[in-house]
Amino acid sequence: MKRYLGIALAALTAILGTTACGSRRPVLHVYTWADYFDMDVVRQFEREFGCRVRIDNFASNEELYAKLRAGATGYDVIFPTTYMVHLMRRENMLIPLDREQLPNLVHLDPKFRAISADPDNAYSVPYMFGTTGLGWRTDRVPEDFEASWTVFANPEFRGRMSMLADMREAMGAALKTLGYSLNSTDPGELAAAGELLKAWKPQLARYDSEGYRNSLASAELVVVQGYSGDIIMIREDDEVEEVRYAVPREGGSLWADEMAIPAGARQVELAHAFINFFHRPEIAAQNMEYNYYHCPNMAAYELLDDDFLSDPVIFFLLHGDPELLAKCEFIEDLGEANALYTRIWDEVRAAR
């Protein structure tokens, strides 16, 4: 009898194990930027919460918005940038967050609440801050190279440069070059920015928001518009010492990516757990060390070494050059002016 009881218990254990580890586990669908967090963190979340995490990537906020606006459903956590949070909230595309399920928000750095898309965290929680600027190869440009958006007019690097396939970032670079706000809504200024992008376009290899990292690492490209963490990752993780990054002298964009739950999410409770998990101090620190961006989590700061915490590129908002910081802006939602940006951007992309 004991023998048969043992066999039965073993069988039951196997069945329960299969259920816990197999296809019956809940699936959390995450829509985010590429290579944005340590997959070891994701695997730890899966183990702790008995679930699977499926990740899809987008290349721009506009791609994220268009896909969800077109009716794509099934995503549980998304990572829009601040200005897109404003737009999506206005259009009822996000669900309210339950603060009781997010106890780790106590760790958020209060200095950054004022520049968050949602300072009360009613609909979103900040994940990472960063900048957009220029990455370049020191072994492929002159020694006196200075970070300036005007490099995209330089025929010396024709066919070996790229800009982001991102409407607001590309338009923002042109607007800054012309001395305008990257949040301008003036039709004349926007038209001038569009013409400048058309003039730069023949010098570019392509518009690229995802592959530029590998292309800069291999020296296929020598100058790119890119995100700060991506460029640092080339130098640190890919061990390409010849790569440098800087915000151009004209200024550039500051941004914060937020975590939010889209309307239509199926795993709302698990989505809250995911957001809360990402603000555990040790998890926030691990993700910062992975992607080289700034998570506004005060308890996580204490887990970082001094060299990392004092890095003026990663922590540009805390340690960046004050004069250059004053020339930078957060991208804002521009309401009805978004349509004008889209029209001009479409003209730029269609230009030869």
Region 22-35: mean pLDDT is 89
pLDDT value at position 348?
97
Cα–Cα–Cα angle for 164, 113, 58, nearest 5°? Answer: 25
First vs last C-alpha separation in the chain: 82
- Residue 28, pLDDT > 70, answer yes
pLDDT band at 116 (very low <50, low <70, confident <90, very high): confident
- The domain made up of 130-254+316-350 has a fold known as D-Maltodextrin-Binding Protein; domain 2 (3.40.190)
Mean of pLDDT values over 304-322:
95
Give the pairing of strands 27-33 and 77-78.
parallel
Q: What is the pLDDT of residues 170-203, one digit of tens each?
A: 999 999 999 999 999 999 999 999 999 999 999 9
113-119, Cβ contacts within 8 angstroms, sequence gap of 24 or more: 115/82, 115/256, 115/330, 116/82, 116/256, 116/258, 117/82, 117/83, 117/85, 117/86, 117/89, 117/256, 117/258, 118/85, 118/89, 118/258
**Per-residue pLDDT at 16:** 42
Whole-number average pLDDT of the chain? 92
Band of the pLDDT at 352, cuts 50, 70, 90? confident
User: Where does the chain have alpha helices with state H?
Assistant: 2-21, 39-49, 61-69, 82-90, 167-177, 187-200, 212-217, 228-236, 268-277, 281-291, 298-301, 306-309, 316-319, 322-326, 338-350
What value does the mean pLDDT take over residues 282-299? 97
Residue 11 has pLDDT above 70, yes or no: no
Predicted confidence band of residue 23 (pLDDT cuts 50, 70, 90): low
Tens of pLDDT, residue by residue over 58-86, are 999 999 999 999 988 899 999 999 999 99
- Identify the three-state secondary structure at position 106: helix
Average pLDDT for 290-299: 97
Length of the chain: 352
Measured CA to CA, the distance from residue 94 to residue 172 in angstroms comes to 26
pLDDT digits (tens, 9 = 90+) for 204-260: 999 999 899 999 999 999 999 999 999 999 999 989 999 999 999 999 999 999 999
Asked whether the domain spanning 130-254+316-350 has the same topology as the one spanning 2-129+255-309, the reply is yes
What's the whole-model pTM score? 0.89
Q: pLDDT class for 113, splitting at 50, 70, 90?
A: confident
User: Residue 1 pLDDT > 80, yes or no?
Assistant: no
Domain residue spans in the chain?
Answer: 2-129+255-309, 130-254+316-350
CATH superfamily for 2-129+255-309 is Periplasmic binding protein-like II (3.40.190.10)
**Over 70: is that where the pLDDT of 20 sits?**
no
CA distance 314 to 126: 16
Instruction: In whole angstroms, give the CA distance from residue 277 to residue 16.
Output: 26
What are the φ and ψ backbone dihedral angles of 227, each rounded to 5 degrees? -90, 140
Other C-beta atoms closer than 10 Å to the C-beta of 8 total: 10
Lookup: tokens for 239: 């061990």
β-pairing, 161-163 with 27-33?
Answer: unpaired
CA distance 260 to 85: 8
Distance CA 47, CA 305 (A): 28
Whether residue 269 is predicted with pLDDT greater than 90 in this model: the reply is yes
